[in-house]
Amino acid sequence: MTNATAPAPAIWDPPAAVRVRGALAVVAGAGESVRVYERFGRRLAVDGYTVAAFEAPAAADASAWLAAQVHAPRVLVGSDRGAAAVLALAAGGAPVDGVIVAGVPVGSADDAQAGDAERTACPVHLGVLGEAAAHAVAAAPAIDVPDVAALGRVRIPVLAIHGGADAIAPFSAARDALAALPEVELVETVGGLHDALNDASHRSVAATIVLWLERLRAGGVQTPIVREIVR
């Protein structure tokens, strides 16, 4: 059922000359509209992934949209409260192939009230956050990160990206909470802040995501496609 209080998703398709390699459904963070993920969606689309962004109250709609996509892998992506929402969906058995979370809301600070400078050091993203269009239409639900037992039920690969200098949700707290996941790859953005998908390291984060997606697409994130040879 479509959430009547949330707007339609924003969708970015790969260019016509690029073969579709999978689909991502992004669930926005607290107070964010889909505008916040335009840069992220466009960048992943260029690499062949169809990306749709949903406001946090429409997390169930994101899962339903993803299930209807023809091309696999089908991956849920969430930032901040959106990260808690997609982890809950995965723990509940959502029919997806993987999950990507960023800025998991594990700190004591109220993420919905955080200042923009606590969220990102990227000047372009700061400009986006200052736009009226960046603010959500509907209030984000107060979603907690699933407990240890629930996270233990997530049987699909998870890529977690978290800022090493995140003052809203400290990296150490995120690491401890995510340790309950059976298959998780935790990536730290060195000196990074809370909006890990849109911080100053957004290019490197997008590249990390594409590499992970390509491994997932090839049949397993544990099997490398490229690797460094130490001499």
pLDDT, one tens digit per residue, over 140-158 is 667 889 999 999 999 999 9
Listed residue (129, 45, 127) closest to 79, CA to CA: 129
In the prediction, which pLDDT does 69 show?
97
Domain count, the chain: 1
Indicate which CATH number applies to the domain containing 39. 3.40.50.1820
As beta bridge partners, residue 10 has 53
In the prediction, which pLDDT does 114 show?
81
- Is 131 a member of any domain? yes
pLDDT lower than 50: segments of the chain: 1-4
Main-chain dihedrals φ then ψ at residue 224, nearest 5 degrees: -70, 150
- Is 40 a member of any domain? yes
- Is 226 a member of any domain? no
- Is 189 a member of any domain? yes
Q: Which domain holds residue 18?
A: 10-217
- Is 83 a member of any domain? yes
- Is 157 a member of any domain? yes
Amino acid identity of 156? I
* CA triple 161-152-140, angle to 5 deg: 55
Task: Give the pairing of strands 74-79 and 10-12.
Answer: unpaired
In the prediction, which pLDDT does 7 show?
78
Residues 157 and 121: their CA atoms lie apart, in Å, by 29
Who's near 219: CB < 8 A, 6+ residues apart?
none
- Is 120 a member of any domain? yes
- Is 225 a member of any domain? no
